Amino acid sequence: MRRIYLCITFFCLICANLLGQTIPLGSPLIEDYLRRQQLLGKFDTTFSFNFRPINFGPDRMSVDSSIFNTSDYFQEEIRFLNGAGKVKILPPEFRFSYDSHHPYSRNDGAMIRSKGAQTLVSAGIYTEIGPLSIQFKPEFVRAQNKNYPGFPDSFDGQKWTQRYVWFNLSDIPERYGDDIYSKSHLGQSSIRLNKWGLSLGLSSENIWWGPSIRNSIMMSNNAGGFEHITFNTTRPQKTPIGHFEWQFVTGRLEGSGFTPPDTTRMDRGRLIYVPKIDDWRYFQSISLSYAPKWIPGLSLGFVRWVQAYSEFIKRTNDYFPAVSNLFRENDDNTGGRDEGQRDQAAGLFMRWLWTDAKAEVYMEFHRNDASGNFRDLILDSDHSRATTIGIHKLFSTKRKDSFIQVNWEWTQMEQTAGRLLRNALSWYIHSDVRHGYTHNGEVLGASIGPGSNSHYLSVAWAKNKNRIGGALERVVHNNDFYYFAFENSEDFRRYWVDFNIHAFADWEFKHVNASANIFYTRALNYQWELFDEPFVPPFLVPGTDVGNLHIEFKLAYKF
């Protein structure tokens, strides 16, 4: 595939007809700025922000040049064929992050969880020949990958065995080996056929489903992009009953190739580490968003994804799993087929934009374990569910075109009390697809990870593309493991809770878009560890409380 990208890109340097581009996920400034402009009614209100990246051009998303001038961001470099042929240089990007005590990687694409310094460099070109578009934007990542305290040796063998339930059923290594990590990726590259606001093609771009800003449960840019075939809309499709957007994806998910910590540990004479099979995963999803014409600003969506090891797909010839078997009563377990070897999730999302109030509300409700039938779904609707709810609003100030921006988002990933009767395991892990819902060792959905919960509140001053603000965040790590490991001892003191204090800024200079985020974490009971001391009241027992400083900034150079 790499050779195909390079050959076609070289061919397009000879003859091209440019129509539009995409703003890669995670690019500094632009996406947050356009979302603010939509709250003000200055950006197409039929666009739901439920499918990203955003596409621009005559056959795609349109935007007033006074709001966002694409020619300033995507500089034309080559013209020929009397101006009909064009090639554009994409803004080179440089990203840097640093963690002082332990990794705190969140929604940073191909960058990994790593202590110490880490950089990502990306550059590329974009061109088109009629309906054919090519974007080549590879990424190179290098991380110090320093050693840091992981799951504690102070825990006994039983706790390690219980922790290995999650290590064995997901590919989320504590560390990417013992050396400096470096890797190149195709990054935000694609080859597409575009017509009538539709696109069919091959891509390795990051994608995002749903309206959430901080934690998207089903798909985000928490992990790097994966190679996939996509059929999607590039702008809302108008019909007599409203606007539709959709994406159908079939892709290939890869493992990290790294193991959990201390794989030589034994329990009752057996290794607690179970090696994963050496096979890639076949991934398929379908997602749809509908904006009814009778309720301006409202969009309603559905998403479902299914993954299975490639050998299972080949053996069963089940190449379209995302459009079959929504309920388990339709499972076909005959002829050596085992439907339990497919990992799947489905759910709903909603966003309601009110431009008169300069505000939006949004939510996601998803399940990672299919119901037996519709009756089972309505009887036990909380089974295996995860939820995000958010509010985003702008408040006017006395100064022209400046606002106070407020965003609150709450995400709940831990299992409900129904687990006592019907265990669904955690989100993003699976008993048969034992890499879990990951790519290259990172969760594809909410960055807080399996069994975790989050509250996030940010307040910022914003004017045009510039923004300065701060945020408070509370993250509770993997309560599913915590309850599983400590329910018998009834030890209620060990919640691993992070309190994060953020300071961030987005700023546009003449040729540079810059974003920075610095936050300090105070982690209480890091890795669920307490120091048990006799004759000390339970609430006064000290825990392993640690601090971590996270620094990140992004720079995009506009020619």
Residue predicted with more confidence, 382 or 557? 557
* Residue in 464, 435, 553, 541 with CA at minimum distance from that of residue 504: 553
Q: Is the pLDDT of residue 12 over 50?
A: no
- Residue pair 430/281 in contact by the 8 Å Cβ criterion: no
For residue 545, count other CB atoms closer than 10 A to its CB: 12
Length of the chain equals 559
Q: Which CATH class is domain 2-447?
A: mainly beta
Least confident of 93-102, 198-207, 276-285, 376-385: 376-385
Residue predicted with more confidence, 305 or 325? 305
Which pLDDT score, from 0 to 100, does residue 81 have? 65
Give how far Cα 198 sits from Cα of 127, 144, 154, 517, Å. Answer: 17, 42, 56, 35
Which pLDDT score, from 0 to 100, does residue 2 have? 46
Which pLDDT score, from 0 to 100, does residue 60 have? 52
Least confident of 344-358, 372-386, 459-473: 372-386
Q: Output the CA torsion 455→553→440→477 (10° steps).
A: -20
Which pLDDT score, from 0 to 100, does residue 84 have? 61
Band the pLDDT of 80: cuts 50, 70, 90: low
* Residue in 547, 539, 545, 471 with CA at minimum distance from that of residue 213: 471
Give how far Cα 528 sits from Cα of 304, 365, 452, Å. Answer: 33, 28, 13
Q: Is the pLDDT of residue 144 over 80?
A: yes
Band the pLDDT of 3: cuts 50, 70, 90: very low
Band the pLDDT of 85: cuts 50, 70, 90: low
Rounded CA-CA distance 342/134 in Å is 33
Q: Is the pLDDT of residue 15 over 60?
A: no
Q: What angle do CA 165, 479, 497 make, to 5 degrees?
A: 125
* Residue in 428, 17, 440, 16 with CA at minimum distance from that of residue 187: 440
Q: Is the pLDDT of residue 112 over 80?
A: yes
Which pLDDT score, from 0 to 100, does residue 4 have? 41
pLDDT tens-digit map of 209-266: 999 999 999 999 999 999 999 999 999 999 999 999 999 999 999 999 999 999 999 8
pLDDT tens-digit map of 485-535: 998 888 888 899 999 999 999 999 988 999 999 999 999 999 999 887 666
pLDDT tens-digit map of 369-411: 877 778 878 887 888 899 999 999 999 998 888 999 999 999 9
Over the range 507-539, which residues count as b (16 or more CB within 10 Å of their CB) and which as e?
ebeeeebbbbbbbebebebbbbbeeeeeeeeee
Share of the chain above pLDDT 70, in %: 88
- Residue pair 341/354 in contact by the 8 Å Cβ criterion: no
Q: Where are the beta strands (DSSP E) in 293-440?
A: 298-309, 343-354, 359-367, 385-396, 402-412, 438-439
Q: Which amino acid is at 181?
A: Y
The string of DSSP codes covering 424-483 is ---TT--SSSTT-SEETTEESS-TT-TT-EEEEEEEEEEETTEEEEEEEEEEE--HHHHH
Which pLDDT score, from 0 to 100, does residue 182 have? 96
Domain extents for the chain? 2-447
Which residue is associated with the tokens 């374990």?
Answer: 369
Band the pLDDT of 13: cuts 50, 70, 90: very low
Which pLDDT score, from 0 to 100, does residue 370 have? 77
Average pLDDT, the chain: 88
β-pairing, 466-476 vs 453-463, is antiparallel
Which pLDDT score, from 0 to 100, does residue 6 have? 43
Band the pLDDT of 7: cuts 50, 70, 90: very low
Rounded CA-CA distance 442/107 in Å is 10
pLDDT tens-digit map of 325-338: 877 666 666 555 56
Q: Is the pLDDT of residue 16 over 50?
A: no
